Structure 1
Amino acid sequence: MTETLTPTRRPVRQLLAASVGNAVEWYDWYAYTFLATYIADQIFPKGSGSSLVPLLSTFAVFAVGFFMRPVGGLLLGAVADRHGRRAALTLTILLMGGSSLLVGLTPTYAAAGVFGPVVLVLARLLQGLSVGGEFAASTTFLVESARPGRRGLFSSFQYVSTTAGQLIASGVSAALVAALSGGQMDGWGWRVPFLLGAVLSLVGFWIRQGALETLDNRRQQAPRPGLFDALRSHPRASLLICGITAGGTLAYYTWTSYLPTYAELNAGVAKGDALWAGTIALAFFALLQPVGGALSDRWGRRPLLLFFGVGFALLSVPLLHALDGSFLTLLLVQSGGLVLLTGFTSISAAVNAEVFPARVRAAGIGFPYSLTVALFGGTAPYVGTLFKQLGNAGLFPWYVAVLCLVSSVVYLRLPERAFAELER
């Protein structure tokens, strides 16, 4: 029988198993975002009327991947609730490695016509399935591995590892842009990060084989929950996850993924400068996560969530309007937003896990969270680029501010569970 973890045993090993694998997952996912302009040029034909058509097509595929995330959250979350967290974590990283390899081998439109975009869409669908399941399983695994009074701190490593993966993807992309000519990047350079991601997924798979199971043996031996048990038994909790996540996911994907492209399109920042500013800001962001998690263990979750939500509602518009084309301004704007965002990201895993009982925790988190991310986070680059094409780029900051204000109302009414026992 699978060995089951008690909260006082081997916490560092558990953090490593969750974090390394999660970093690899998100490296593969984010490499697509940072190389979107190169993928657009090679995989999609240019529209006759606008040079933004290929980029819009690429971001549409980005959004399509997000819409597989609820399916992954539901299916692989159910695997985690029925067969254990480790089984689900192993499956997600194998899916991600295969889909990353598929992106790296996608034929260009010039070579294969419409077959190229079809392969890319298939790869992104598989990546979306994997990432949806990864969040559900790793969130549950991390929080259940924590000692009493440390759930917030352990929770923060969800975004430490997520940001590490994003940071590596950004750094590799920036280094390739600096080292290779434009022709080399268009020809083969953009494929390198995805092929590397497939290799790294095997490393993550090997590390996760040493993880200890956090689903209690009694839970594993009890009748297994149905696929939709969490939604049927806990509809209010499912809606609560949506409200908690809506503003946070839009702000997160705007500030960590889309901002370099937004700065290029709306402020004239050079492509290389935008990538390097993002890389530096992300390193700063990763260091902030454990601080936010530890503070929530001491003060509670609600104060940090309100710090994020109200801060973004008030400052999104002035921060994005402050972009002026310079590297330094972009770095300051991105870093300032990431300080506010830490109030959400550092404790997102703990807040979500504390909403559901252990029996349906992974699937209960996975579906509503991933659905909300698909609706608001996954569409952020597309919506921002579409506003630009329609001549209303200034509306996008207001869109971010309003949604963060809506989530702030949810945070005000959210029960404080930081100091309560976590059901196992």
Structure 2
Amino acid sequence: MPSASTLNAREQRRVVAGTTIGTAIEWYDYFLYAAVAGLVFKQVMFSPEMSPGLATIVSFASVGISFLFRPLGAFLAGYCADRFGRRAVLVATLLTMGIATVIIGVLPTYATAGAAAPIMLIILRILQGISAGGEWGAAALLSVEHAPAGKRGLYGSGPQLGAPLGLLLSSVVLALVSAFTTEETFMSYGWRIPFLLSAVLIVVGLFIRHSVEESPVYSTMVERPDTAPATNPMGTLLRRFPLVVLIASLVLAANTASGYMTTGGFIQSYATSSAGLDRGVVLSAVAASAVGWSLSTVAAGVISDRIGRKNTFIVGFIVQLLGNLALFPLVNTGNAAAFTAGLVIMSLGIGLTYGQIAAYYAELYPAPVRASGASITYALASILGGAFAPTIAAALTQSTGGTAAVTAYLVAMTLIGLVATLCLRDRTNVDLSPDAAQDRSILAWHH
């Protein structure tokens, strides 16, 4: 008969697997839209009377608009996760994301439905945004709150790993469909296949998530009247920690601005339309960068357990800065190997400023408002950094005729993230239990 410690270790591994796979499926759906927006939607979902440049900007705006609804998802899911538990939220968000994705796969185009096509597309993208806003906080806390002592960074890198795995999966599926269809077939109906495949992924994700146990921290809060969940967690959060929410969101915003060059579809669109690279080559390069992002994401979690979250961010932002400076000079060569190298260098920095986020955000907030705090901080970061990064990049390229302004924008965002990191204390391995003192000395200048 297995010991209690063996059962506990087994449950911890099951939680990490469940949150990682489920989050990967969510991000597959989310990133798939962004990639297809840059490759297909700008041509088939919007009025042909638009100029190609305007159609690209509008298409990326449809990617970004979903971010405006992520705080709504974060608010709803954070409240429910703090009041009713982390696990139920994960099932609800997975269903919402998956159903919206499958419906996108059967939408009529502008040629068939006129203006109704982009309207329906944007409504479904908004549903994806609400789901993505609610998904992350519950998944992150479930992993971190189950983690053994000294391994929160590693366990928390599980749901973080879901993002590059989702990018890898969406890029590989798109590349395969592109390889086995002609250009005409791909633009006609081939692009729909990856969206429809999401139906299979939903079933897999629901099966895995249903087997995951509730967070021990939340279970303790429910069982004891003196540590009961907050009745108004969001109100408490915004009353006590508004500056922490803002500064912590800028840390991740710096990461997402760079990350959404690829996950938001800008690089795919720019490389095929301006750098003259083949779509299959571009998708393969993005898949390679996703592998680099995955490895550096796990590395960041492990390293942060050794040297602290704050020090890991500082190293990560320096590497990300080098990636910012190298990306477009390599992309603009029009050479497939150089293009791949540029994306991989960028992805290493992105992973080193991403893998420790789950543990970092969990350690910022006390147990009664932790899900609300982590969720709303993450959602705000996505708006400030990733939401319109592809739109901004497309507009800067269109107005300047080059990519130097895009590089300057990414460098500025990275430096903002570095400064924000320095403004918060390192709280690595702080007590996460409901009994822990609700420490206000999170800001670097408070003692």
TM-score normalised to the size of structure 2? 0.89
Which residue of 2 is the match for residue 77 of structure 1? 78
Which residue of 2 is the match for residue 240 of structure 1? 247
Which residue of 2 is the match for residue 415 of structure 1? 425
Which residue of 2 is the match for residue 297 of structure 1? 305
Letter in 2 for 1:279: A
Quick check: 1:7–1:144 contact (8 Å CA) kept in 2?
no
Which residue of 1 is the match for residue 208 of structure 2? 207
Quick check: 2:247–2:423 contact (8 Å CA) kept in 1?
no
Which residue of 1 is the match for residue 62 of structure 2? 61
Shift, 1:311, TM fit: 3.2
Q: 2:350 aligns with which of 341, 346, 357?
A: 341
Q: 1:399 aligns with which of 393, 405, 409?
A: 409
Cα distance change, pair 318–200 in 1 and its aligned pair in 2 (3 A): closer
Distance 2:236 2:222 in 1: 16
Distance 1:306 1:390 in 2: 33
Distance 1:263 1:306 in 2: 30
Letter in 2 for 1:198: A
1:376-399 Cα offsets, whole Å, 9 max, x none, are 202111111111222343201100
Letter in 1 for 2:72: V
Letter in 2 for 1:409: V
Shift, 1:361, TM fit: 0.9
Question: SS of the counterpart of 1:180?
Answer: coil
Cα distance change, pair 80–103 in 1 and its aligned pair in 2 (3 A): same
Unaligned runs of 5+ in 2: 1-6, 435-447
CA-based RMSD of the aligned residues comes to: 1.8
Which residue of 2 is the match for residue 253 of structure 1? 260
Shift, 1:10, TM fit: 1.4
1:227-279 Cα offsets, whole Å, 9 max, x none, are 43211222132123222112111112124443333333443222221111111
Moved more, 268-277 or 68-77: 268-277
Question: SS of the counterpart of 1:149?
Answer: coil
Once the two structures are aligned, what percentage of the paired residues are identical?
31
Taking the TM superposition and a 5 Å limit, the aligned residue runs for 1:305-316 are 305-316=313-324
Which residue of 2 is the match for residue 186 of structure 1? 187
Shift, 1:223, TM fit: 4.9
1:355-383 Cα offsets, whole Å, 9 max, x none, are 11111111111113212212320211111
Distance 2:205 2:278 in 1: 34
1:127-169 Cα offsets, whole Å, 9 max, x none, are 0000000111111111111111000101111222221111110
Q: Does 1:225 align with 2:231?
A: yes
Which residue of 1 is the match for residue 46 of structure 2? 44
Letter in 2 for 1:292: A
Letter in 2 for 1:371: L
Distance 2:115 2:303 in 1: 51
Which residue of 2 is the match for residue 144 of structure 1? 145
Which residue of 2 is the match for residue 197 of structure 1? 198
Distance 2:63 2:100 in 1: 14
Question: SS of the counterpart of 2:191?
Answer: helix
Letter in 2 for 1:171: V
Quick check: 1:170–1:275 contact (8 Å CA) kept in 2?
yes
Question: SS of the counterpart of 2:375?
Answer: helix
Letter in 2 for 1:60: A
TM-score normalised to the size of structure 1? 0.94
Which residue of 2 is the match for residue 3 of structure 1? none
Quick check: 1:313–1:402 contact (8 Å CA) kept in 2?
no
Quick check: 1:262–1:384 contact (8 Å CA) kept in 2?
no
Quick check: 1:102–1:119 contact (8 Å CA) kept in 2?
no
Which residue of 1 is the match for residue 158 of structure 2? 157
Distance 1:7 1:152 in 2: 18
Question: SS of the counterpart of 2:197?
Answer: helix
Cα distance change, pair 386–7 in 1 and its aligned pair in 2 (3 A): farther
Q: Does 1:169 align with 2:170?
A: yes
User: For this pair of structures, how many residues does the alignment match?
Assistant: 418
Letter in 1 for 2:120: V
Quick check: 1:39–1:58 contact (8 Å CA) kept in 2?
yes
Which residue of 2 is the match for residue 275 of structure 1? 283
1:85-144 Cα offsets, whole Å, 9 max, x none, are 001111100111111122112111111111111110111010000000011111111111
Quick check: 2:289–2:344 contact (8 Å CA) kept in 1?
yes
Distance 2:410 2:100 in 1: 31
Question: SS of the counterpart of 1:68?
Answer: helix
Moved more, 124-133 or 407-416: 407-416
Question: SS of the counterpart of 2:277?
Answer: coil
Distance 2:10 2:283 in 1: 40
Quick check: 1:97–1:197 contact (8 Å CA) kept in 2?
yes
Distance 1:76 1:277 in 2: 35
Cα distance change, pair 376–292 in 1 and its aligned pair in 2 (3 A): closer
Distance 2:10 2:419 in 1: 38
Distance 2:322 2:292 in 1: 22
Unaligned runs of 5+ in 1: 1-5
Quick check: 1:7–1:148 contact (8 Å CA) kept in 2?
no
Letter in 2 for 1:386: A
Distance 2:381 2:293 in 1: 23
Distance 2:237 2:270 in 1: 38
Q: 2:373 aligns with which of 364, 367, 376?
A: 364
